[in-house]
Structure 1
Amino acid sequence: MSDSLDTDLLNIFRDEVGEYLETLNTLLMQIETAASADPESLRELNRVAHSMKGASRAVGLKVIETIAHYMEEVFAASMQHQLKLAPDVCDLLYDGLDLIQTVVDGDENDEETLAHLLMHLEQVVAGSAIPADEPVQEAKEATNHHGEEPPAGTNHKSPPAEPIQQPAEMPIPPSLVTDTSTVMMRPMEESIRVSVGKLDQLMAEVSELLVARMQSEERVRDVQSLRRLHGRWRREWQGIRAAYIRLARRVQDEQGDLDADLLVIFKFLENNQRNLLAATHQLSQLVQALGQDNLRLTTLADQLQDDVSRMRMVAFETLLGGFQRMIRDLARDTGKQIHLDVIGLAVEVDKTVLDALRDPIMHLLRNAVDHGVERPDERERSGKSRTGRVRLEIEQRGNEIVLRVADDGKGIDVAALRHKALQTGIIAQQEADAMSDEDVRSLIFHPGLTTAATVTAISGRGIGMDVVRDRVESLRGRVSVMSVAGEGTTISLYVPVSLTRIRCVLLEIGMETYAIPSAVIVRMTTLRRDDVFTAENRDMIVLDEHPVPLVSMADVLGIPGSPRSADEITVMAMRAADRTVAFEVDGLQSERELVLKPLGPEIARAQFVSGAALLGTGAVIIVLDANDVVRSATGRTLPARRAPVLSRPSAAVVQRLRILVVDDSITTRTLEKNILETAGFAVSVAIDGDEAWQKIGEEHFDVIISDVEMPRVNGLELVKLLKGNEHTRHIPVILLTSLAKPEHREAGLKAGADAYLVKSQFDQGELLQMIQAVM
């Protein structure tokens, strides 16, 4: 078998075993919590274990084959009422599933752990576990349900072993209730496996088709505009045609015969009257045909996009088994009694989004068990049930998924959190005094901040909540926290259903146009300047009878806006980062659906940037990160996901600075040029050091920003040329390169560069700061 075929087979096997593990985990959870096993579930367990054994044998994974064989024997014995799936037996089966997952993931497994597991599984099969009502001897006689011998290399014989003891006084968690009664392997439809990479490529091509559709719509609007212009011309002609006829008759009456030149003109006008009518008819037909073609293209493109999107959609229930199992294990480890409610498992989301949410959901559930829900005796003293409740709820609202993790525990201790943040130096006393309870609760997203008295292996290190926020915001989502002391905490995640299309409102700031996701917009309105008032040293307006801060979007982004109107202001209020803020903008356009385009690593890290999108005109616009914008507007930079962008250099500095950007990549040159021109600098570009040296001899430049690896004259050679010439050695040089090793930095600075920045760590704020520093 070829290496490529081996690889393909192993990839198929991984997907198949993933489904088997999910089914086994879920069914075992149902059987364990129901305290009895229904025959159908046992048959399904036995069938899945048998299938997994056969698949493992086909790819030569003896470890998985052996574990699956003994699991099959356990389920077969249980089917014949010769073995009870008691908690200790389930623990052993879960250990087997975890070990299989380790092998599938390609991690090294501990041989001692494997030997210990196989020994105990063999003991269970041999009848040493907690038996059912039937005699153990009968169980021994009926263990091999399929009449097969254990895989070669395993020893089915073992000395008498003691029963596996269940830990004393350890409560068994109550039922983990979900909105699905049973989970069975559904009848297999005829299907093929397609890699996610191929689906991504197909989705990218569909995105290009959607852009073509938008461009087609733009062309239809252009033709409609042309028809309106033609209609105005025709109406004007009809208005003057009567005057033209009167003039022709008057000339004819006065002169008898028309002048030859006038006759030519009159005939030309009459002929073009007929041509005008024909053009009007043809133009109307063209507009109608283009509209119908565009309608068909729109229908097909949207249908294709929906079909491809559905191919990538995965139900949240695929996560259920793992989370149920995790809660069960955590409850046992912490000695707590947990009742898990899961609502909305049938909701589907793009696989990329679901994969990105897996860890955040896990963090939230772990925190709910470890930090949220109290121990049974503590709950009893508080007048609560000994069993804590954790709720995972998923719902779809339009193009957005709302996911909530709630517990009925002790809630967030705002006073303790404020004190801890002060104690660790995260906030100053003045900040602490000014912070509302809502602001303090948001501090849970600060890395490393925790009020836990002791560190545990579960969630007590303050790790996780910052990861949750960063992961959700990387999906263009947002997080909110609600908590009532003594009653519990609810953390809500808001993420888009798909990452390829997004509904946005376009906003105008000076000469620039940006997009903001519609999901975060609370209100768009026009107000009188007199409606603005000052409170707490900042501008405010009233929305829905509540004061809301008013901030200039141009000031937040650090770009020039239009001159302010003395009478009216255009306002867009949005809710993000757990705050509502109103922004003054220069103009607002209608809502539209945009096709998002991937960003390169350099610009993807830039503050305020969530993505980029193509308009029907072909123009590229930036989609703003609402969370970054709101945090910057409210001065809440903690915990910043990206380095903050500094304010623009002063006008006096900008006016006298001319910058030369040197890079052999047109993309990088254009990106840097746009950033610097947006900041107000005059920018020229060169493709390598040779061209740069020629331009420096012809023009004056205040700063040089250069790549290192370039043809002809590279960056280091250019620096040496500049620093070795008495006329240019005073010009500061910033090297901006992908070479990140210490020796590369040392070489650049040794050559004479004034600063050295790495593209993979590129941040536009750092670049602007560096320009100011070298000047």
Structure 2
Amino acid sequence: MELNQYLDIFLEEAKEHLQNLNENLLALETDTQNIDLVNEIFRSAHTLKGMAATMGFEKMASLTHEMENVLDLVRNAKRTVDSNMMDVIFHCVDRLDKMVEMIMSEGHDQVETQDLINQLGAIVTGNKVHNLKGSNLDAPISIEIDEHHKQMLSFDQYEITVLMQSLESNFAIYQIQVILDEESILKSARAFMVFKELENYGEIIKSIPSVEEIENEEFGNDFTIILISKNDQQEIEKAILNISEIQSVQIQNISKDQLVNQSRQEKATNMKKDNEVTSVQNHGQQKKHFSAKTIRVDIERLDELMNLFSELVIDRGRLMQLANEINHVELTDTVEHMSRISSNLQNIILNLRMVPVEQVFNRFPRMVRDLAKELNKKVNLNIIGAETELDRTVIDEIGDPLVHILRNAVDHGLESVEERIKNHKPEAGEITLKAYHSGNYVFIEITDDGRGIHREKVLNKAIEKNLITKEEGNQLTDKQIFNLLFHSGFSTAEKVSDISGRGVGLDVVKNKIETLGGFVSVDSTPGKGTTFIIQLPLTLSIISAMLVQIQREKYAIPLSSIIETAIYKEKDIMYAHKQQVIDFRGHIVPLIPLKQIFAVPDEGIEEEDISVVIVRKGDKMAGLVVDSFIGQQEIVLKSLGSYLPNVFAISGATILGDGQVALIIDTNALIK
């Protein structure tokens, strides 16, 4: 067995334990007397230490071991949790996180830790004892073994012959039962270390379970080895116990008389012997018969599955079109049946790619805690709807925009403790991070109860930067003025700081969200707080779209952007500021002729009526003028590639059932 094959598992498990450490440490900071939390933190550190030692990452193992010493003092009421201790342990978790990143990128954990080890040692100094409960985690633990394990394993006739010859050559035969720590992770790797160690003391004749089963982790917390050796039993026992996360070792000698008796039984009752072997092999492995309810799948495999299904969707569209053209009843029925099955399959595949936003939200409590401490503010972060699911592609991209908004909320949004008391507010500011589904979108709201956005300050800054004129500013609503914050380079910060983003404005957030097919808006009430609302599509792979025709060209408009389609007469068209507009349910909506936008060659096809697709972006609407509607269809998004970058108002392309390529319109780019 090679340890490298366990590296991916180690990294994934390490990240989970680091996340657990962060969450439980945050909880402990507000409830310092909660010993259950201390025990949870201790267990995570202990498991992480064992995993790191097994994989050979000694720096990580040493740091987590020192963390255990401090936590053990708290568990045994020899130290109380204070601010200094929490800060040091939080720094340790950060350093461990850095080690994990180093292992991922460079394959080693050579990050400086001595400063933190010294700080942890300083906490322990004065109350350190030599035999703290749990501090010597590698020491053997003596436990009683049931009668079953005291019995000698069963052997076949060939094995008995080999063992008898070994005894005659003055070798000892040891039956060694190794019981792993219950919290041990990477059990196969731990067993591998035991095997490697025992090979230095003799020859392994047999293992229960088999080597193959141990490699596949098809065993419980114990395994048994038959070793032929000339070394002392105590020497072998000591060597095994030097390996961490070994709970106990039981060694018994197998005598010649025992082998003779078993040889007789083996010959007389071969069937009984087989049953006994099976019984021993299955001991402690009852859970083996229960299948796991979840499995880990490499995300690249899911991407490949989605790509293959995307091609199937294209072929499905082609088959449906051919069936309609041929008009063969049996073919039509078969295609319709296949279409229903593939639609169900599509839903399953899309759901496989959906992951809870909790994966992103989980890192924010720690970030907010550190920012609040740095700014001498008190902040409570409330997370609602963390179970809301999004496509994995979207999840990977939304982290940075949310970080930017949250940092601004803590820095700019919330007042200092003194200012909040003066304004008759609670000392601790409240930030709420909320996610929820609505239609084909996921909405994420970030709300704070801070000072709000100063309307005049934003307006004056916008006029100063020549974004709008003073006359235009007087006609804007509060919400329109607040959305000026998303213009490139716009910032109302009087001085640039690391927290406020070094002058990087919210335009970065806006561009990233719109790249994902969503949009962001902001609303605020002075003195009461601010709310950012992010709207994101559920998935970016397969979407429903309205196919439209402009002259002889076909285009797709995402259905999630469409409010309605309508037919207008020429007499219904009005003009405002030399712009064609229509009256849509009391709203004046500007018209955008797509034939002119995309410079579609005129084929002489003119329609008497004007076909309009009403689309929206936030609270803004526009009417896209097309020649005709083709109908609704599920399409596969394909990138235009690096050879066609930044094509205006085009977000990609799709292949239609007849093999034609239809460009997908980016309605966000058309609405200013």
Pick one of 10, 35, 39 that aligns with 1:13: 10
Deviation at residue 78 of structure 1 after TM alignment: 2.9
User: Which residue does 2:339 correspond to in 1?
Assistant: 298
**Aligned residues of 1:416 and 1:451 also touching (Cα < 8 A):** yes
> Structure 1 residues 86, 599: closer, same or farther in 2, change over 3 A?
farther
**Aligned residues of 1:505 and 1:589 also touching (Cα < 8 A):** yes
Structure 1 position 23 matched with structure 2 position 126:
no
Quote the Cα distance in structure 2 between the aligned partners of 1:20 and 1:396.
Answer: 29
**Aligned residues of 1:82 and 1:139 also touching (Cα < 8 A):** no
* 1:346-425 map, 5 Å: 346-425=387-466
Bigger Cα displacement from structure 2, 564-573 vs 601-610: 564-573
Structure 1 position 73 matched with structure 2 position 65:
no
Counterpart secondary structure, 2:644? helix
* 1:28-39 map, 5 Å: 28-39=25-36
User: Which residue does 1:605 correspond to in 2?
Assistant: 646
> Structure 1 residues 334, 565: closer, same or farther in 2, change over 3 A?
same
Quote the Cα distance in structure 2 between the aligned partners of 1:38 and 1:465.
Answer: 43
Letter in 2 for 1:447: S
> Structure 1 residues 34, 548: closer, same or farther in 2, change over 3 A?
farther
Counterpart secondary structure, 2:493? coil
Pick one of 127, 137, 148 that aligns with 1:146: 137
**Aligned residues of 2:581 and 2:589 also touching (Cα < 8 A):** yes
Pick one of 205, 227, 245 that aligns with 2:308: 205
Q: How many residue pairs are counted as aligned between the two chains?
A: 523
**Aligned residues of 2:543 and 2:635 also touching (Cα < 8 A):** yes
Quote the Cα distance in structure 1 between the aligned partners of 2:505 and 2:46.
Answer: 38
Quote the Cα distance in structure 2 between the aligned partners of 1:223 and 1:397.
Answer: 40
Structure 1 position 500 matched with structure 2 position 552:
no
Counterpart secondary structure, 2:671? helix
Q: Deviations over 1:625-656 (max 9, x none)?
A: 1111113xxxxxxxxxxxxxxxxxxxxxxxxx
Quote the Cα distance in structure 2 between the aligned partners of 1:473 and 1:386.
Answer: 36
Pick one of 294, 301, 316 that aligns with 2:357: 316
User: Which residue does 1:307 correspond to in 2?
Assistant: 348
**Aligned residues of 1:77 and 1:139 also touching (Cα < 8 A):** no
User: Which residue does 1:92 correspond to in 2?
Assistant: 88
Q: Deviations over 1:117-159 (max 9, x none)?
A: 11112233x256xxxxxxx46797436163559x99xxxxxxx
Q: Deviations over 1:556-589 (max 9, x none)?
A: 3333568797964222221116522222222223
Structure 1 position 471 matched with structure 2 position 521:
no
Letter in 1 for 2:312: L
> Structure 1 residues 562, 480: closer, same or farther in 2, change over 3 A?
farther
Pick one of 550, 554, 566 that aligns with 2:591: 550
Deviation at residue 323 of structure 1 after TM alignment: 0.4
Quote the Cα distance in structure 1 between the aligned partners of 2:605 and 2:468.
Answer: 35
User: Which residue does 1:118 correspond to in 2?
Assistant: 117
**Aligned residues of 1:26 and 1:320 also touching (Cα < 8 A):** no
User: Which residue does 1:194 correspond to in 2?
Assistant: 297
Bigger Cα displacement from structure 2, 19-28 vs 571-580: 571-580
User: Which residue does 2:99 correspond to in 1?
Assistant: 103
TM-score in terms of structure 1 length: 0.62
TM-score in terms of structure 2 length: 0.71
**Aligned residues of 1:575 and 1:581 also touching (Cα < 8 A):** yes
* 1:689-700 map, 5 Å: none
> Structure 1 residues 557, 429: closer, same or farther in 2, change over 3 A?
farther
* 1:689-768 map, 5 Å: none
**Aligned residues of 1:577 and 1:627 also touching (Cα < 8 A):** no
User: Which residue does 2:47 correspond to in 1?
Assistant: 51
> Structure 1 residues 438, 529: closer, same or farther in 2, change over 3 A?
farther
User: Which residue does 2:319 correspond to in 1?
Assistant: 216
**Aligned residues of 2:487 and 2:507 also touching (Cα < 8 A):** yes
**Aligned residues of 1:503 and 1:594 also touching (Cα < 8 A):** yes
Bigger Cα displacement from structure 2, 84-93 vs 424-433: 424-433
Deviation at residue 427 of structure 1 after TM alignment: 4.8
* 1:518-537 map, 5 Å: 518-537=559-578
**Aligned residues of 2:313 and 2:635 also touching (Cα < 8 A):** no
**Aligned residues of 1:595 and 1:614 also touching (Cα < 8 A):** yes
Pick one of 434, 441, 457 that aligns with 2:498: 457
Quote the Cα distance in structure 1 between the aligned partners of 2:530 and 2:631.
Answer: 38
User: Which residue does 2:201 correspond to in 1?
Assistant: none
Q: Deviations over 1:56-86 (max 9, x none)?
A: 1232222211222222333333333333333
Counterpart secondary structure, 2:450? coil
Counterpart secondary structure, 1:601? coil
> Structure 1 residues 31, 302: closer, same or farther in 2, change over 3 A?
farther
> Structure 1 residues 220, 630: closer, same or farther in 2, change over 3 A?
same
Q: Deviations over 1:200-242 (max 9, x none)?
A: 1121112112222222222322233xxxxxxxxxxxxxxxxxx
**Aligned residues of 1:417 and 1:441 also touching (Cα < 8 A):** yes
Quote the Cα distance in structure 1 between the aligned partners of 2:549 and 2:614.
Answer: 15
> Structure 1 residues 595, 565: closer, same or farther in 2, change over 3 A?
closer
Q: Deviations over 1:526-549 (max 9, x none)?
A: 223333323334232222322222
Deviation at residue 523 of structure 1 after TM alignment: 2.3
User: Which residue does 1:265 correspond to in 2?
Assistant: none
**Aligned residues of 2:544 and 2:633 also touching (Cα < 8 A):** yes
Quote the Cα distance in structure 1 between the aligned partners of 2:368 and 2:517.
Answer: 28
Quote the Cα distance in structure 1 between the aligned partners of 2:572 and 2:606.
Answer: 13
User: Which residue does 2:623 correspond to in 1?
Assistant: 582
**Aligned residues of 1:472 and 1:478 also touching (Cα < 8 A):** yes
**Aligned residues of 1:73 and 1:145 also touching (Cα < 8 A):** no
Letter in 1 for 2:38: L
Quote the Cα distance in structure 2 between the aligned partners of 1:112 and 1:614.
Answer: 50
Letter in 2 for 1:120: Q
Bigger Cα displacement from structure 2, 549-558 vs 612-621: 549-558
**Aligned residues of 2:63 and 2:113 also touching (Cα < 8 A):** no
**Aligned residues of 2:548 and 2:629 also touching (Cα < 8 A):** yes
**Aligned residues of 2:408 and 2:500 also touching (Cα < 8 A):** yes
User: Which residue does 2:177 correspond to in 1?
Assistant: none
Quote the Cα distance in structure 1 between the aligned partners of 2:352 and 2:109.
Answer: 38
Counterpart secondary structure, 1:105? helix
> Structure 1 residues 464, 299: closer, same or farther in 2, change over 3 A?
farther
User: Which residue does 2:377 correspond to in 1?
Assistant: 336
Quote the Cα distance in structure 2 between the aligned partners of 1:598 and 1:565.
Answer: 32
> Structure 1 residues 483, 561: closer, same or farther in 2, change over 3 A?
farther
Letter in 1 for 2:649: F
Deviation at residue 439 of structure 1 after TM alignment: 3.8
> Structure 1 residues 570, 440: closer, same or farther in 2, change over 3 A?
same
Letter in 2 for 1:411: G
> Structure 1 residues 19, 140: closer, same or farther in 2, change over 3 A?
same
> Structure 1 residues 292, 531: closer, same or farther in 2, change over 3 A?
closer
Q: Deviations over 1:482-529 (max 9, x none)?
A: 222222222111112221111111222222221111111122212233
> Structure 1 residues 16, 560: closer, same or farther in 2, change over 3 A?
same
Letter in 2 for 1:64: M
> Structure 1 residues 139, 358: closer, same or farther in 2, change over 3 A?
farther
Counterpart secondary structure, 1:602? coil
Quote the Cα distance in structure 2 between the aligned partners of 1:334 and 1:327.
Answer: 10
RMSD between aligned residues: 3.2
Counterpart secondary structure, 1:603? coil
Letter in 1 for 2:117: L
Counterpart secondary structure, 2:113? helix
Quote the Cα distance in structure 2 between the aligned partners of 1:565 and 1:406.
Answer: 50
Letter in 2 for 1:114: T
Q: Deviations over 1:167-215 (max 9, x none)?
A: xxxxxxxxxxxxxxxxxxxx99476543322221121112112222222
Q: Deviations over 1:360-387 (max 9, x none)?
A: 1111111111111122222333343332
* 1:270-289 map, 5 Å: 283=328, 287=329, 289=330
User: Which residue does 2:172 correspond to in 1?
Assistant: none
